[in-house]
Structure 1
């Protein structure tokens, strides 16, 4: 099992420094999110700073044409000597339509067509064959030799899809090289939704579920003193409240026997009551979303929760701790070593 570090929203020179510190601490990779700053520039900065896996986790697909995404991914695969993984997500309608000014509907079929179009670009880059993708949403048929980046020594970048609901999980299992699980995940959700739906999609393609990279973010609550753990616990509570206010994720609370959680969160969100949102996430609910331990026990806790499901676990809060104390990642050395041998 590999342990990665999630980051995003940092100046590019800071990303390079973080990449070096993460590598020295034994982290397998950096998972770079896309928000106010683009994921791809941060990936380039990290790839040129340290020999560490680089993953977009995730880059927003629809505002960029499949050709643009394929070209950037191709360059990152080349620059990183094959250590780059392209993680793509749909985002939500409001952001795609009102922030990016791009088409959103239908998100699932559009994403499937997008992935296949990117793969067609990769094939044309490598082989020089005519670009030939004709799907319901993307039609690509022109790539003169002078406009192609040409073959590279690295393999084609693996493509991972962000997926929450059963339909998209099946698409990922059928077409993608891996899947980015949403941070709002629980052992129940992983066992009852993620594993069977990925397996169903893989079976449709004649593949084994073990062929997939399953990338699972974790709200890791770690510290030797309870006061240290309490800080991360409360950050996790607020994140669960924030993510849980999205209607599409209500079923995750229902699986836990807590129906009505998402409507309660949305009511308090509309009132601007952040403390009230956090209060909805009781300790009982929160425990399903966090993995907790001291520095001596956290590796076993992560292994117990994710072994047999996740191939890569991503420390959600690791980069936050690093921005406050760049030496903080050194404490992870024993943990990353233990997980690598698990």
Structure 2
């Protein structure tokens, strides 16, 4: 956006540490003292000090995809928000090892850190709406896969050539053709689709149940009234 920028992972880590320093100063009523590479916070006036939070200090979750940001988040934050384009294989081979490396650097245990996984989900109230939901998932997968920074995710599955093709189509404005390029194999690698809430829930749990502490299904059907049935099905099948 035409703004000067550098070291995004280091900046994010410093930002998280700065926010934690402020929250701890409020909670413990101690002097604020944060001097980082990018942010400095040493003044806390009584007017801006709300005092201790009776519910404790809120956790800080940060989104990350690449290794540098993932390790930075694991060193500083309380949890990571995985991108919905993160397949189980990418999480296992890239995200989780980098989380472990970051936690080791901060001398923390895995039990002290949460992984929240967003999941592209397609379901409809009837056959027609289900087809629309599946198509929406294809389009979304194509959009993410066209982004050069996400090529590493596709490489885990041998789909790197698809990334180049989709990126070219995006520059040509051929959005429909991008969705058409996502076959069932690719679709089911990155999204979970079903016509039945319980089957959808079972597949989500099968793929992601042992990888994270939280799951966040994202419906691409446009029918928000289906979300309660999906959440109830997840609760039944957990």
The two structures have a TM-score, normalised by structure 2, of 0.91
Contact between 2:198 and 2:234, CA under 8 Å: does it hold in 1?
Answer: no
* Counterpart mapping for 1:102-117 below 5 A: 103-117=4-18
1:140 Cα deviation after fit: 1.0
User: Residues 173, 286 of structure 1: CA spacing in aligned structure 2 closer, same or farther, 3 A cutoff?
Assistant: same
Contact between 2:27 and 2:56, CA under 8 Å: does it hold in 1?
Answer: no
Contact between 1:113 and 1:136, CA under 8 Å: does it hold in 2?
Answer: yes
Q: What residue number does 2:89 align with? A: 188
1:226 Cα deviation after fit: 5.0
Q: What residue number does 2:229 align with? A: 331
Off by >6 Å, runs of 4+ in structure 1: none
1:175 Cα deviation after fit: 1.7
* Counterpart mapping for 1:190-209 below 5 A: 190-209=91-110
Q: Could you report, residue by residue, the CA deviation over 1:298-323 in whole angstroms, capped at 9, with x for unpaired residues? A: 2211110111112111121179312x
Q: Could you report, residue by residue, the CA deviation over 1:13-53 in whole angstroms, capped at 9, with x for unpaired residues? A: xxxxxxxxxxxxxxxxxxxxxxxxxxxxxxxxxxxxxxxxx
Q: What residue number does 1:85 align with? A: none
1:272 Cα deviation after fit: 1.0
Contact between 2:9 and 2:69, CA under 8 Å: does it hold in 1?
Answer: yes
* Counterpart mapping for 1:240-255 below 5 A: 240-255=141-156
* Matching residue within 11, 16, 20 for 1:119: 20
Structure 1 CA distance for aligned equivalents of residues 203 and 30 of structure 2: 49
* Matching residue within 152, 157, 163 for 1:262: 163
Q: What residue number does 2:30 align with? A: 129
Q: CA RMSD in A?
A: 2.0
Q: What residue number does 1:301 align with? A: 203
Structure 1 CA distance for aligned equivalents of residues 187 and 167 of structure 2: 17
User: Residues 330, 158 of structure 1: CA spacing in aligned structure 2 closer, same or farther, 3 A cutoff?
Assistant: closer
Q: What residue number does 1:276 align with? A: 177
Q: Could you report, residue by residue, the CA deviation over 1:119-168 in whole angstroms, capped at 9, with x for unpaired residues? A: 11101112222211101100111112222122121111101111101111
Structure 2 CA distance for aligned equivalents of residues 264 and 329 of structure 1: 34
1:231 Cα deviation after fit: 1.8
SS of equivalent residue, structure 1 residue 173? helix
Q: What residue number does 2:40 align with? A: 139
Structure 1 CA distance for aligned equivalents of residues 162 and 118 of structure 2: 21
Q: Which structure features the higher share of helix residues?
A: 2
Structure 2: stretches of 5+ with no match in the other structure: none
Equivalent pairs counted in the alignment come to 237
